[in-house]
Structure formats: C-alpha cells, structure tokens
C-alpha cells in the first residue's frame, strides 16, 4: 500500500477528529456563561455539559456501521456538516430546553471518533494499527484546544460569537476533507461506497461476546472519565480555588493536553509490550492518583501544651494541577491500549465493535458529569467526583483480574485445553 496515501488518510483524519473533539467539549467553556445567564444548578449544568456526549456516544454505533459500508471519505464530511448546523443553531436558543436540544445536535461531533477508527484502520496492517490509531487519537487535543482558546474567544466575542466561529471552522473542514481524502482500500477493492462488505447480522454478531463489553467498561473509564473531567475541571477550579474562567480553562487544558499527546505513544507501547500490560499500568496509576485527588482538604484541631493547635491539610493548587496532568497521561495510554485490542481481536468488525466500545465509553462522558453535579449538590464537597472515578477504575481492574484468571489454564491441565 502506498505510504503517502496512508499518511494522507491518517493526517486528514487526525485533523478532522481534533476539530470535532474541540467542538464536542465546547460546553465546558461556553456552558459556564450559559449557567450564569440561566441561573442553573450544578446538576443542570452537568446535564448541559453531558448532553452532547450522549449523542456523540449513541451515534458511534450506527456511524461505525455506516462507515464500514460507505467509507470515511463520505461519512466524515457529512457528520461535520450536520454538526456545524447544530453549533450555529446554539445561538438561536433562549431557554434551558432549547440549549439541550441544540446540544444533542452538537454531540454528533463525538461520533467522528469511530468514523476515523474505521477509516484509518483500513489503511494499515495489524502490526502498525496500534501506532496509527494512537496517532489518530491525538485528536483528543481538541479538548485542550477548547480549554486554551475558547475562554479568550468568549471574552472577545461572547459565547454566541464563539459558537459561530466553531461552526464555520467545522464546515470548512468538512469541505477540505472531502476534497483531499481518498476512498479507503477495502471499499475501493469492493467497487465503491454503498456496496455491502458484510451483512448487518454478521457485523453485529461479535457484540454477543462478553469480552466486547469488558473492553467497553475499560473505555467507559479511560475515555468517558477523560471527557467528563475535561468538562468538569474548569468549573472545579473556579469553585474550589476561586479562579477566573480564563485561568481555569488553561489549567483544565493542562490536564487534557497529555491525554491527547501521549495517546500516540500509548499505541506504540501497546504494539511493543501488549495492550493488556498498558491497561494494567493505567488502572494501577489512576487508582493512586484518584485517591489523592479525591481526599478532601480541611483542618484538624487538637489541644496542645500552649493552647489549641490547628493543622491544615489538602492539595495546593499546583499540586492538584500536577496530579491531573499525570492522570491525563495515564488515561491517554489506556485509551490507546483499549482500541489496540479491537482490530487485533475483531479485524473484520472494527466499525461494529469499535462503535459499541466507543458508544459505551462516550456514555461515561454523559453520565459522569451528571453524577458529578449530583454529588456536588448532595455533599457540597468538591473532590467527591474523583472518588467516584476511583470506584469505577477499581471495578474495571477487578473484572480484568477475574477475566484473566478464567483464561489461564487450570492446575493439572495443559495449556492446549
């Protein structure tokens, strides 16, 4: 296969995914302004931020199936144009219900991930798919791009002008992708888009395998948790540390940046040492970090020799930021490792299996921000969302341990049995 064509497909897909991901997390910034404008509670704010993730998650299943049939050159531009229309439509909303409706359309941006996975994986052999998909996953940097740039756009143009800028960039990107991209080699060999490469039943058959659902839980944490924290951290820094939106956005971007940049590294490592080892490392490091992040600060007073002694404990701002950066790095490795599994185990069903795993993972980005808001409203403790994520990764680690134990040969039996 021509290397220049491979690089073209990978480069265009990564750029398109970066722009789409930036759009997908837009509410993490403009949502703060909308929250103040509509006087929303933390639970309502969590729902607003999470709604685009719902559409982006559910759409991944059928977008994956359609990409297998029609190809990424058709599906990527179509998805981006429809999303651009919804983003522009945000500026017409005037009520909470109206914003939720527009947010559902904006969420199609999240479906770009499975389109890119199905498209890119067809250009590379299995020995290079982990690295290629890891490079494609760098598009998660779109979250950092929004965290860094959108607050300044909001100050200069207002949230309405910011949404319009995003819509125009998305529409132009759709046109450029269609003009520059080529039909993937599988569809070209089959005679073009629209020619069935498999029946719908055969595409969906692997979804009966419990292994697929285990991979989905992993992705619920590493990707869903990543998206949820990228959306939650600006609000967290403003509330817990009293920062302005621009500074809070930059600090949230510091978390999101390694989560994107090191995904390519995670794919390369998964190719070299195996995806399972990378996932184990991700889970172990994440549990330690989330325990530290979730421990609430406070004061402890005791009677001393010369009077009451008060001891303050808790993470400083920069200590907290440093831990989130390491967490973003760990989750980036996990995201790459999970999707290294899919073309390796299900090479003929990347769209269907990847669509389901991506959908479940994306649903984490929908349910978790809502859960974060509920926890804040119920407890009033800023760090409780991190403890929720600790419980989630602990459950994922337990399922992985039990599944691996079941796959190991029983004592007294040969490996062949």
Residue 110 included in any domain: yes
Q: Are residues 26 and 122 in contact, defined by beta-carbon separation less than 8 angstroms? A: no
Residue 10 included in any domain: yes
Residue 213 has pLDDT above 90, yes or no: no
Mean pLDDT of the chain: 82
SS (H, E, C) 358-412: HHHHHHHHHHHHHHHHHHHHHHCCCCHHHHHHHHHHHHHHHHHHHHHHHHCCCCC
Mean pLDDT value across residues 241-253: 87
Phi then psi dihedrals of residue 296, to 5 deg: -70, 140
Residue showing tokens 């939106």: 245
Mean pLDDT value across residues 166-187: 90
Residue 290 has pLDDT above 90, yes or no: yes
Nearest 10 degrees: Cα torsion 59, 60, 63, 68? -160
Predicted confidence band of residue 414 (pLDDT cuts 50, 70, 90): very low
Please give the residue that has the higher pLDDT: either 11 or 188.
11
Please give the residue that has the higher pLDDT: either 206 or 142.
142
Least trusted range by pLDDT, from 23-27, 133-137, 187-191, 270-274: 187-191
Q: For residue 309, what is the enclosing H or E element?
A: strand 307-313
Residue 25: what pLDDT? 83
Residue 357 included in any domain: yes
Residue 133: what pLDDT? 81
From residue 37, how far is each of 33, 337, 377 by CA, in Å? 6, 41, 19
Domains: count for the chain: 1
Helices (DSSP H) in 241-316: which residue ranges? 245-261, 263-273, 275-294
Residue 197 included in any domain: no
Residue 263 has pLDDT above 60, yes or no: yes
Residue 394: what pLDDT? 94
Least trusted range by pLDDT, from 73-82, 211-220, 295-304: 295-304
How would you label 320-335 residue by residue, b for 16+ Cβ within 10 Å and e otherwise? bbebbbbbbbbbbbbb
d(CA 53, CA 241): 27
Residue 269 has pLDDT above 70, yes or no: yes
Residue 221 included in any domain: yes
Residue showing tokens 């998964």: 270
Residue 73 included in any domain: yes
Mean pLDDT value across residues 349-372: 78
d(CA 76, CA 175): 10
Residue 148: what pLDDT? 84
Predicted confidence band of residue 385 (pLDDT cuts 50, 70, 90): very high
Residue 208 included in any domain: yes
Please give the residue that has the higher pLDDT: either 46 or 205.
46
Nearest 10 degrees: Cα torsion 49, 58, 136, 81? -80
Residue 263 included in any domain: yes
pTM of the complete model beyond 0.75: no
* Percent of residues, the chain, with pLDDT higher than 90: 25
Domain that holds residue 125: 3-184+202-298+313-407
Residue 411: what pLDDT? 46
Least trusted range by pLDDT, from 47-56, 135-144, 347-356: 347-356
Q: What is the CATH number of the domain that holds 161?
A: 1.20.1250.20
């Amino acid at each position: 296969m021509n290397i220049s064509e491979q690089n073209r497909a990978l480069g265009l897909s990564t750029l398109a995914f970066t722009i789409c991901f930036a759009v997908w997390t837009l509410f993490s910034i403009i949502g703060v302004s909308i929250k103040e404008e509509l006087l929303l509670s933390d639970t309502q704010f969590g729902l607003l931020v999470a709604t685009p993730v719902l559409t982006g998650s559910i759409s991944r299943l059928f977008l994956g199936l359609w990409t297998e049939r029609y190809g990424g050159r058709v599906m990527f531009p179509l998805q981006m144009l429809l999303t651009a229309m919804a983003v522009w439509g945000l500026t017409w909303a005037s009520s909470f219900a109206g914003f939720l409706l527009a947010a559902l359309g904006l969420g199609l941006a999240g479906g770009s991930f499975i389109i890119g996975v199905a498209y890119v994986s067809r250009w590379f052999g299995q020995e290079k798919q982990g690295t290629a998909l890891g490079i494609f996953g760098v598009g998660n940097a779109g979250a950092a791009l929004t965290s860094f740039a959108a607050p300044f756009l909001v100050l200069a143009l207002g949230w309405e002008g910011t949404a319009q800028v995003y819509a125009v960039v998305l529409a132009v990107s759709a046109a450029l992708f269609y003009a520059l991209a080529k039909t993937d080699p599988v569809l070209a060999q089959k005679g073009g888009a629209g020619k069935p490469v498999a029946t719908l039943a055969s595409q969906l058959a692997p979804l009966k395998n419990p292994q697929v659902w285990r991979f989905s839980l992993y992705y619920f944490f590493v990707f869903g948790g990543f998206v949820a924290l990228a959306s939650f951290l600006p609000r967290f820094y403003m509330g817990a540390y009293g920062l302005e939106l621009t500074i809070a956005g930059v600090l949230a971007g510091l978390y999101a940046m390694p989560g994107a940049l090191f995904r390519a590294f995670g794919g390369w490592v998964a190719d070299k040492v195996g995806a399972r080892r990378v996932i184990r490392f991700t889970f172990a490091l994440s549990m330690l970090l989330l325990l530290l992040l979730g421990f609430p600060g406070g004061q402890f007073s005791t009677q001393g020799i010369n009077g009451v002694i008060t001891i303050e404990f808790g993470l400083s701002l920069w200590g907290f930021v440093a831990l989130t950066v390491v967490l973003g790095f760990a989750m980036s490795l996990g995201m790459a490792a999970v999707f290294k599994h899919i073309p390796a185990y299900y090479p003929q069903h990347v769209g269907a299996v990847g669509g389901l795993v991506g959908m479940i993972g994306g649903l984490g980005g929908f349910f978790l921000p809502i859960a974060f808001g509920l926890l804040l409203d119920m407890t009033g403790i800023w760090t409780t969302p991190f403890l929720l994520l600790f419980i989630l990764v602990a459950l994922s680690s337990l399922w992985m341990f039990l599944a691996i134990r079941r796959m190991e040969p029983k004592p007294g039996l040969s490996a062949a049995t």
